[in-house]
Structure 1
Amino acid sequence: MRKRLRKQVITALTLTLMTGMGVAAAEENPYADVSQNHWAYAEIDALVQDKLIAGYDAAAYDKDKVATRYEMARFLANALSKYDQADKQQKAKIDRLAHEFAVELNTLGVRTVQTEQQLPKEAVQPAKQTKAKKTSVTIDGETLIEASDVDSKKQEGSNAFNWRQRLHLNADFNDRVSYKSRIQASGKFGSGSSENGNTSNEMRFTRSYIQVKDFFGIDQFQAGRMALAVGRYFPLALQGDADGVALKHQFGKTRLDGYWVNPEKNTDLKGINLNFAPTKSFEYNVGYISADGSLKTDAPAVAANYVDTGLSWEIQKGVTGVLNYTKSDASGSPDAWAAQVSYNWVSGKRQAGFYSYEGLVNILVPHDQAIALTYRDIDKDALPGNYGNFTGVGEAKTNGHKGLMLGYQNMVMDGIRMSLQYQNLEDKLTGKHDHRYYGAFDMYFN
């Protein structure tokens, strides 16, 4: 027993010296490089962003550089030390990584359930009948309470307040296949009905889809009713839930997204998107969209093609600029553009997309605070259907508009986020200004 322990210690020290001296010959390193398209890079990076990997290891980790299996295990050991602080989804990531790097973790002296399962036993045990692996299921949710007022559309009494309840169900069947869904109900306080009298507080699935990793060489395949945001992080052109299929694949620092979906009844939409991130602080995007909503019975939209491009740049820690532009070949060649600058002075969260599609704060950091100023100029028919994230409010919604939005968010306590927002939009048809005031509390639980 002492000999084996001494051998493990010597092995760990040797590997540490080899890593520090920058051993170049792969054949001399018993822990080979991990391919940059390996799924572990994304999982480790997510744990760094969630601050479950902290200190020196977080500073040393670089998803754009090739790491050895031993180095990846070092980062993972850091996360394992904070396992009790992780939520269910983060624990699932850590468990998958611990299973993958069980041998390396054992060499480091880190013993986990996964290392016990992976490493050979001292003596051969009699064969036992094994049960099928149980599906890993997690459930979490969120509650929203909001109030708003628009100049052109006075909202009083219970009509000024809305509620929304969401439950997220995630099931991992194995390392490749998973199911994700979202059950949602929303409505007005008091009457429980929408402003046109239709009942709106019935529970329904707003998302329900299967996700497969490594699908015939493609990194990810999705089918069902899924979340869709054209431009990955810059959903000026299109954002919402849609029925159909989507593909995602990573080529080095470039991600390819393809989709063929129906965001709403009698609407056909397909497109492709490329996102390139040469550094951690900068990325840009270009996409092509073909949409036909002319057969819609409710608010029909023109059939047209669109080009969408955008970028996100972390100017300095916590300060981010986002730009996006969309051009349509519809009558009059309408276009749309938006620009935003945001500042997060607590966690320094980088804003990868537009508020309010993307939150300004990290919901895992208590008292995180941030502010964003956005200006946009949207021509009528410049965005596919009526699905653009910046469709406006009040009368300006259908006529096209331009103006600014000021937003502020604060994690007032664990799991509770406060959002405040002000919009001043000019209707492009009438020239009238529409002011909107908005406040909300989001409550997250798992």
Structure 2
Amino acid sequence: MKKKLVASLAAAMVLGVAGTSFAATNPFTDVPAKHWSYDAVTKLANAGIVDGYGDGTFKGDKTISRYEMAQIVAKAMAHSDKATAEQKAAIDKLSVEFASELEGLNVRVTKLEKNSSTIKVTGEARLRYEDQTADDFSDNSLVLRSRIHLDGQINDQWSYYGRLQSENNLRGGDDGKVTMDNAYVKGNLFGATATVGRFDYVPNGGLMFDSTLNGVNLEFGNVLKANVFYGKDNHQDILANGSSNWSNAEHPEVTGLTLDYATSKATSINGGYYKVKDIYNTDTTDFWEAGFKTQLNSNWNLAGSYGESDIDVENTAYYAQLGYKGADKAKVGSYGAWVNYRNIEGFAAPRTTFDGAYTVGGQSYYDGIDSLYPLGAKGYEVGFNYTPKLNTVLGFKYANVKATANDSSNALKTKFYQAQVEFFF
């Protein structure tokens, strides 16, 4: 089989795998731009799947050997993590056909390493604009957040993940520092899946927590899934004591247990119990929650949760959300929308996922006696997201809420706008 024909067939099977644009000049002197195989050969050459000879020629009319074809297949396999299901199927068939030659190249056919490096590097960038307008204040921001993801396989049972992050205020001022905000190992430990290090934890949709923990998490079960975790929260602006104020203690201890049970293929129920200990004041606050999520049909989903703390006032939280589809970064034209209602009182949730004013670290009021209360929030939110280009997602949300505190501050209302674009690479 002629080499140019093989290259064209390979390109058809792995088209889009490497995602590399064509070179500005001919990669090979003997493959003119007007030749029928030019696009295929150029794409594969740029991706490193095919190469030429030392004199800059491709020699496409030369009959290719099975060994040379195996080299092309091996390189296509190394890029298969970016292939579609159909393309992966074609590559798998070729790997079977050329199995003996691939073994001669020291390629593991059944489990080929998908990156020549031991570390797989990916990234994302998010440009976000936020605006809050309330009765007594207004504020807006424009922030660029950049993240680099590092994935490494330690052995058959353990892996490593690290995430570098920086946030830059595009309105001026000091740029954010680059931090390793995630760094952990994950693997099998005594029949459980263990995560040890610094990791995100967002139990049960985030009504109570959307934060980062320095500690350990153990996950058990299949139909009934359980997570047990312990560590110090990586943030300080969370509710961490049983008194009537917000604590800024040094990274309070968090101990938690969550359960998730699949009642059917479409529906699951969940719950959680958490203890948050203020290291500085040695006070402990208990929190619990219970909720559900269900896929109503192929397009619509519904979720909700209720939670409480053991503080005497402003201690309940709940939300319900109806969602439609959802934007997929890998599917151009995909989109989604949602609407929710939430009532999250000031002492109910340590660090909730819900954005907007009157959440953790937001406004507060003095009750005139002896306590500074955080203002909880109740109201609705609507949102929309859309994928206009591959690996690009647009998002918008609007929330209209008012304070939950039972005094004159209840009159305070806030309108919250958020618009963002995310890029994945």
Aligned 1:321-340 pairs, distance under 5 A: 321-332=302-313, 334-340=315-321
Displacement, 1:139?
0.6
What residue is the counterpart of 1:438 in the other structure? 418
Which letter maps to 1:284?
I
Displacement, 1:327?
1.4
Residue 370 in 1 paired to residue 350 in 2? no
Q: 1:277 to 1:83 in 2, by over 3 A?
A: farther
The runs of 5 or more residues in structure 2 that have no matched partner are 1-75, 105-115, 235-249, 365-373
Contact 1:135–1:173 (CA under 8 A) maintained in structure 2: no
Which of 120, 124, 136 is equivalent to 1:138? 120
Displacement, 1:363?
1.8
User: Percent identity, aligned pairs only?
Assistant: 17
Residue 188 in 1 paired to residue 169 in 2? yes
Residue 259 in 1 paired to residue 229 in 2? yes
Q: 1:263 to 1:113 in 2, by over 3 A?
A: farther
Contact 1:286–1:309 (CA under 8 A) maintained in structure 2: yes
C-alpha distance in 1 between matches for 2:158 and 2:98: 20
Which of 387, 393, 397 is equivalent to 2:357? 393
Q: 1:113 to 1:375 in 2, by over 3 A?
A: farther
**RMSD of equivalent CA atoms:** 3.2
What residue is the counterpart of 1:361 in the other structure? 327
Displacement, 1:227?
1.2
Q: 1:85 to 1:421 in 2, by over 3 A?
A: farther
SS of the counterpart of 2:138?
coil
Residue 411 in 1 paired to residue 382 in 2? no
Residue 162 in 1 paired to residue 121 in 2? no
Contact 1:401–1:425 (CA under 8 A) maintained in structure 2: yes
Displacement, 1:335?
1.0
Which letter maps to 1:412?
P
Which letter maps to 1:280?
K
C-alpha distance in 2 between matches for 1:235 and 1:217: 27
Aligned 1:20-419 pairs, distance under 5 A: 86-87=81-82, 111-112=95-96, 136-152=118-134, 153-155=137-139, 160-191=141-172, 193=173, 199-212=174-187, 214-218=188-192, 220-231=193-204, 234-251=205-222, 253-264=223-234, 265-293=250-278, 295=280, 303-332=284-313, 334-344=315-325, 360-384=326-350, 387-390=351-354, 392-393=356-357, 395=362, 398-419=374-395
Displacement, 1:302?
7.0
What residue is the counterpart of 1:23 in the other structure? none
What residue is the counterpart of 2:4 in the other structure? none
TM-score, structure 1 normalization: 0.62
Displacement, 1:434?
0.1
Displacement, 1:321?
0.3
Displacement, 1:84?
6.2
Contact 1:396–1:428 (CA under 8 A) maintained in structure 2: no
Q: 1:311 to 1:116 in 2, by over 3 A?
A: farther
Displacement, 1:410?
0.2
C-alpha distance in 2 between matches for 1:83 and 1:310: 43
Contact 2:232–2:253 (CA under 8 A) maintained in structure 1: yes
C-alpha distance in 1 between matches for 2:263 and 2:98: 35
C-alpha distance in 1 between matches for 2:330 and 2:154: 27
| CA offset digits 1:191-248 (Å, max 9, x no partner) | 2x3xxxxx34211111011112x21222x111111111122xx211111211001111
The runs of 5 or more residues in structure 1 that have no matched partner are 1-80, 99-104, 122-133, 194-198, 345-359
Contact 1:318–1:343 (CA under 8 A) maintained in structure 2: yes
C-alpha distance in 2 between matches for 1:117 and 1:177: 31
Q: 1:391 to 1:165 in 2, by over 3 A?
A: closer
C-alpha distance in 2 between matches for 1:342 and 1:321: 6
Contact 1:327–1:333 (CA under 8 A) maintained in structure 2: no
Contact 2:95–2:102 (CA under 8 A) maintained in structure 1: no
Which letter maps to 2:321?
Q
Aligned length: 304
TM-score, structure 2 normalization: 0.65
Which letter maps to 1:257?
N
Displacement, 1:112?
4.4
Contact 2:194–2:219 (CA under 8 A) maintained in structure 1: yes
Q: 1:331 to 1:287 in 2, by over 3 A?
A: same
Q: 1:375 to 1:116 in 2, by over 3 A?
A: farther
Displacement, 1:160?
2.9
Which letter maps to 1:182?
R
C-alpha distance in 1 between matches for 2:396 and 2:283: 34
What residue is the counterpart of 2:6 in the other structure? none
C-alpha distance in 2 between matches for 1:365 and 1:443: 14
Q: 1:202 to 1:170 in 2, by over 3 A?
A: same
Displacement, 1:433?
1.0
